[in-house]
Amino acid sequence: MIHFKEFTLENGLHVIVHEDRSSPLVCLNLLYQVGSRNEDPEKTGFAHLFEHLMFGGSKHIASFDEPLQKVGGDNNAFTNTDITNYYITVPSNNVETAFWLESDRMLSLSFDPAVLEVQRSVVMEEFKQRYLNQPYGDVWLELRPLAYQEHPYRWATIGKDLEHIQRATMDDVKDFFHKFYVPNNAILVLAGDINVQSAEKLCKKWFGPIPAGSRTKMTLPQEPKQNEHRFLHLEREVPIDAFYKVYHMSSRSDSRYQAADLLSDLCGRGKASYLYQALVKRQQLFTSISSYVSGSMDPGLFTISGKLASGVTFTQAEESVQKILDDVKAGKITHDDLQKAKNQAEASIVFGEVELLNRAMGLAQAAAIGHVNLVNEELSLLHQVDKKAIIDEANRILTFENSSTLHYHAIK
Amino acid sequence: MLDRSIAPSPEPLKTVDFPQAEYLQIAGCETLLLRSSNQPVVVLELILSSGRWTEKRPGISYFGSKMILEGTPQKTAEQISFAFEALGSYVEINPGFDHQTIKLYTLKRFFEKSVSMLFELFDKATFPSEEFALMKTIRQQNLQNQLSKPNQFASLKLTELLYGQEHPYGRIIIPEMVEPLTREQAHEYFQWVLFRNPKIVLVGDVEDSQIDFLNQMFKRLESNTVATEKFLPQTSIGDHEINRQANQASVRIGKITIPKHHPDIHKLSIANTILGGFFGSRLMKNIREEKGLTYGIHSSIVHLAEHSYWTVGSELAKDKLTEGLSEIQKEINILCDQPPTEDELETVRNYLSGKLMTSMDSVFGLASLYKSTFLFGMDPTYFSEFMSTLQSIQSADISEVASTYLQGELVNVVVQ
């Protein structure tokens, strides 16, 4: 159980406070509701590049990191398709430094051209490190545009290609900032050694004077229902053939989400899952296989991925996976299987609540989904899912027409 | 009117309190116990002194431990996996250089049940041949995959050059080494070597009754006592370049360094932090934040039982490799030649105190901190000593310790 209190400033900043006095620290987690799905299709990778620029100095403060390190704090950030999330951990007696820093960069950046130039290079190296200089690193760069044709999930958060990062201008940076980095598009979580009264006082002092932006609700192009199977064959210099199959599924806030989540656990979480047992252990057609859901704010993907055992063809691999999915769709799920998946989910949630920072992030993300108390209700929602709901979901999602397949073929 | 150009006045950091851990014996095994009832979970970790040093055949220790999950006379591998997963429990087996660890994550209410299942495996694992053959195939594929990653290959190459191919730390396990290994050899390892000098780390919502229960369980476990061979590092100092047609240059620089119990270790660790141990380090500022040559660059001290090493690692832009390498060397030289300013040292002091506090914010964080000394037979006074060195260290100490330990005789690896 994560207890919390919340309030909203006049400028629209949504604040959530989770008090926990067990250590003399505060986590300040600031989530902006902007991710790569909000990007212009001609300027992809921008939300993430922008995250880097947020560390390059703000209106009144030349450096973000140093003043924080000086008071014993540490920080980082990440960007995904839906959100950009900044987090600070600081000894509680210096929490005001975190407010000072974080509010100043919400007020205005320094927009220093030198920072843009350097971070452009840094992000290009990040692109190479994570996506090009790794075997299988480009899988999602290829799978996304296969699975999505209209929705901005069709490009990866890092961007479609390096070209877009190279082309970013300071005008783009300013537009993006004024559009998305406004208090009424943000969620602030304060967790740890702080109470709601002092949180409110500090929020009013530092974030209160920042004017609200004219946040216009973006209507994103929705993905039309997929009616035809899609297929891609890639050849790469990697050691082993890999197989990927993705199916469209619901969004994180949909009432069917938990059923799909448990379905993916039953099929492909752990060594006792259906796919692993049948295809790695018994038939030895794969050397690894798993399935998982994306949990994104707009309708996401149910993914199956695995590496083929040597000598196994993609056709054999594909047929064997299909056989397992057909069994699940036909209802071959035992009570024990379902109870297992629920216990696994419970353990993940309970272990996930150990760290203060995880709790802070969980609250912010639940708020972004639109329901803060989801952090506490998730487990009971999972428990309410019955066998029928899972089978229904399997039959709805796991159809041939709703799927895209990638054969990632190893060549020497 | 709020003046945002003025920073809130910083308060001096509170002294870091190191919570007491309980040190006890469970059936004769040294145990580190940290309790917290915040979350109804328990983690039990067995630390066994049977890493690479105890391998008579390269690559065998992996199978000698991992195969315990693959069958008993009563249960198939499938039934074992199902039994743990059905409780939401998870067993992680980690074969390392100095130790193998077997770690059980469980909800508190399933603790006894999960532990009993684990001990049933210790008592009765049969190492079925078919499961061994399958594990071997998968292991070979995983090794192939690992070796194909330029960054991982560069790290393996560094330890090979630091210690030599014959040394347990230097040996790169390749698929061909795994091929001749047999089920019998793995089982023999499990019977006679694996449970060498077990230690226990027990963390979470632990009751006394559960400790009594563990005492009963561990009584059944027979500890192994095999001797290990001595190996000395055979370092190949100098430049080593490997061409892999990669998209970036994976750079690893290293040098054998002083052990964890050495009197200079805290000073060296602080000097290393200034050089490349955090986001505000000199390497990060110069090579990433000023020049944009990389996404990240770090330096660290890796503590091992016999010979620890110090290393700098980065994935550099290929066309800027020469510039990157010379900037790294330049930063090492500056650290050795010029004492840092008091301001820079103060930043690192506060950063490290805060970092230490943060790493203790949950009982599991605290456990991994204390485990880092428990592994080497040391206790948490190590951290209070670190804190007092952090307060007393002077600028001149930094350049002195850097020039003593970070200069010359470097191994330089580039995989590109």
At residue B144's C-alpha, the angle toward residues B140 and B145, to 5°, is: 115
Please name the residue ranges forming H helices in B46-96. 60-66, 77-86
Options A6, A10, A19, A51, the catalytic residue: A51
Closest partner residue to A354 (CB to CB) among B90, B360, B364 is B364
What is the spatial order of strands in the sheet that A14-19 belongs to?
A: A5-8, A14-19, A186-192, A25-32, A84-91, A74-79
H or E element in which residue A102 lies: helix A95-107
CA A368 – CA A379 distance, rounded (Å):
19
Which residues 93-152 in chain A show a CB within 8 A of chain B?
A: 93-94, 96-97, 99-100, 103-104, 107, 117-126, 128-130, 132-135
Which residue spans within A249-396 are E strands per DSSP? Answer: 286-293, 301-308
DSSP A208: T
Which residues 311-330 in chain A show a CB within 8 A of chain B?
A: none
Is the Cβ–Cβ distance between B83 and B111 less than 8 Å? no
DSSP notation for B226-284: ------------EEEEE----SEEEEEEEEEE--TTSTTHHHHHHHHIIIIISTTSHHI
DSSP notation for A26-78: EEEEEEES--GGGS-TTSTTHHHHHHHHTTS-BSS-S-SHHHHHHTT-EEEEE
H or E element in which residue B1 lies: none
Which residues 261-290 in chain A show a CB within 8 A of chain B?
A: 270-272, 277, 280-281, 284, 287-288
Task: Write out chain A's pLDDT in tens, 412 residues.
Answer: 999 999 999 999 999 999 999 989 999 999 999 999 999 999 999 999 999 999 999 999 999 999 999 999 999 999 999 999 999 999 999 999 999 999 999 999 999 999 999 999 999 999 999 999 999 999 999 999 999 999 999 999 999 988 999 999 999 999 999 999 999 999 999 999 999 999 999 999 999 999 999 866 778 999 999 999 999 999 999 999 999 999 999 999 999 999 999 999 999 999 999 999 999 999 999 999 999 999 999 999 999 999 999 999 999 999 999 999 999 999 999 999 999 999 999 999 999 999 999 999 999 999 999 999 999 999 999 999 999 999 999 999 999 999 999 999 999 7
Structure confidence at residue A129 (pLDDT) = 92
At residue B411's C-alpha, the angle toward residues B410 and B414, to 5°, is: 130
Candidates A71, A204, A282: best to mutate against B (most CBs of B within 10 A) is A71
Core vs surface per residue A253-285: b (16+ CB within 10 A) or e: eeebbbbbbbbbbbbbbbbbbbbbbbbbbeeeb
DSSP notation for B116-163: HHHHHHHHH----HHHHHHHHHHHHHHHHHHHTSHHHHHHHHHHHHHH
Task: Walk along chain B (416 residues) in steps of 10 and give the mean pLDDT of each run.
Answer: 92 86 95 95 97 93 98 97 97 96 98 98 97 97 94 97 96 96 97 95 97 94 87 95 94 97 97 97 97 97 96 97 97 97 96 93 94 92 95 97 95 97
Q: At what angle do helices B321-337 and B395-405 cross, to 10 degrees?
A: 120
Å between A343 CA and nearest CA of chain B: 5
DSSP notation for A126-172: HHIIIIISSTTTTHHHHHHHHH-SSSGGGS-TT-S-HHHHHH--HHH
CA A195 – CA A190 distance, rounded (Å):
9
Q: Is the pTM of this model over 0.90?
A: yes
| Cβ–Cβ below 8 Å for B350 and A310 | no
In chain B, the N- to C-terminal Cα span, in Å, equals: 55
| Cβ–Cβ below 8 Å for A133 and B354 | no
Which residues 150-189 in chain A show a CB within 8 A of chain B?
A: none
Structure confidence at residue A4 (pLDDT) = 98
A-to-B residue pairs, Cβ atoms closer than 8 angstroms? 222
A27 token code pair: 């986590």
Closest partner residue to A133 (CB to CB) among B105, B150, B296 is B150
Neighbouring-strand partners of residue A76: A87
CA A148 – CA A146 distance, rounded (Å):
6
Closest partner residue to A72 (CB to CB) among B85, B134, B354 is B354
Q: How many CB atoms lie within 10 A of CB B236?
A: 13
Å between B234 CA and nearest CA of chain A: 31
The candidate with the shortest Cα–Cα distance to B214, out of B226, B229, B227, B202, is B202
Residue of B nearest to A102 (CA): B4
| Cβ–Cβ below 8 Å for B248 and A128 | yes
| Cβ–Cβ below 8 Å for B4 and A60 | yes
| Cβ–Cβ below 8 Å for B39 and A350 | yes
Å between A109 CA and nearest CA of chain B: 13
Is the Cβ–Cβ distance between B203 and B364 less than 8 Å? yes
Residue of B nearest to A343 (CA): B88
Q: How far is the CA of A215 from the CAs of A12, A16, A185, A253, in angstroms? A: 10, 21, 7, 22
CA B101 – CA B371 distance, rounded (Å):
12
Closest partner residue to A340 (CB to CB) among B86, B247, B357 is B86
CA B211 – CA A147 distance, rounded (Å):
52
Reported residue count of chain A is 412
Is the Cβ–Cβ distance between B302 and B309 less than 8 Å? yes
Residue of B nearest to A27 (CA): B358
| Cβ–Cβ below 8 Å for B280 and A350 | no
Q: Which residues of A touch B14 (CB under 8 A)?
A: 24, 91, 93
CA A258 – CA A378 distance, rounded (Å):
8
Kindly state whether A249 is in contact with chain B, defined as any CB-CB distance less than 8 angstroms: no
Kindly state whether A352 is in contact with chain B, defined as any CB-CB distance less than 8 angstroms: no
CA A192 – CA A25 distance, rounded (Å):
6
A15 token code pair: 């604040």
H or E element in which residue B184 lies: helix B183-192
Q: Which residues of A touch B4 (CB under 8 A)?
A: 59-61, 100, 103-104, 107
Is the Cβ–Cβ distance between B294 and B316 less than 8 Å? yes
Is the Cβ–Cβ distance between A394 and A325 less than 8 Å? yes
Closest partner residue to A351 (CB to CB) among B10, B41, B316 is B41
Neighbouring-strand partners of residue B32: B23, B201
Q: Specify whether A51 is catalytic.
A: yes
The candidate with the shortest Cα–Cα distance to B304, out of B231, B360, B198, is B231
Structure confidence at residue A314 (pLDDT) = 98
Is the Cβ–Cβ distance between A11 and A212 less than 8 Å? yes
Q: Which residues, other chains included, contact B55 with Cβ-Cβ below 8 Å and sequence gap of 6+?
A: B61, B168
Kindly state whether A90 is in contact with chain B, defined as any CB-CB distance less than 8 angstroms: yes
Q: How far is the CA of B257 from the CAs of A161, A343, B305, B371, in angstroms? A: 42, 46, 12, 21
Residue of A nearest to B351 (CA): A72
The candidate with the shortest Cα–Cα distance to A296, out of A251, A350, A356, A240, is A251
